Amino acid sequence: MEEEEEEEEEEEESLPGCTLFIKYLNFDTTEEKLKEVFSKVGTVKSCSISKKNKAGVLLSMAFGFVKYRKPEQAQKLSSSSRDTSWMATSWK
């Protein structure tokens, strides 16, 4: 049974279309908040905010990536949210 679960996880990692590029993030947005907001659409497998190191301090580059377990969830969001205002939520 454990082998089947591991194989299923490996399959999920190789599915194309699960990752969304998110731009115009508030500089104070955390990965936890990003995951919280995008989990409303589906199961978020991972999320990350791109950062740069400036004088020993990690600073947000105001964009990131959200990876869903299923491509259908990512596609649903990308096609339905283009003209909606829920994305204007405070990201802090």
For residue 15, name the pLDDT band (cuts at 50, 70, 90).
confident
> Mind listing the pLDDT tens digit for each residue in 56-71?
999 999 999 999 999 9
Q: Tell me, which fold does domain 2-85 have in CATH?
A: Alpha-Beta Plaits (3.30.70)
Look at residues 62, 77, 60, 64 and name the one whose alpha carbon lies nearest to residue 18: 77
Q: How confident is the model at residue 85 (pLDDT cuts 50, 70, 90)?
A: very low
Where are the domains positioned within the chain? 2-85
Q: Tell me the mean pLDDT in the region 9-31.
A: 81
Q: What is the overall mean pLDDT for the chain?
A: 79
Query: What SS3 string covers 3-50?
Result: HHHHHHHHHHHHCCCCEEEEECCCCCCCHHHHHHHHCCCCCEEEEEEE
**Rounded to 5 degrees, what are φ and ψ at 50?**
-70, 135
Average pLDDT over residues 75-92: 56
Per-residue model confidence as pLDDT tens digits over 22-34 = 999 999 999 999 9
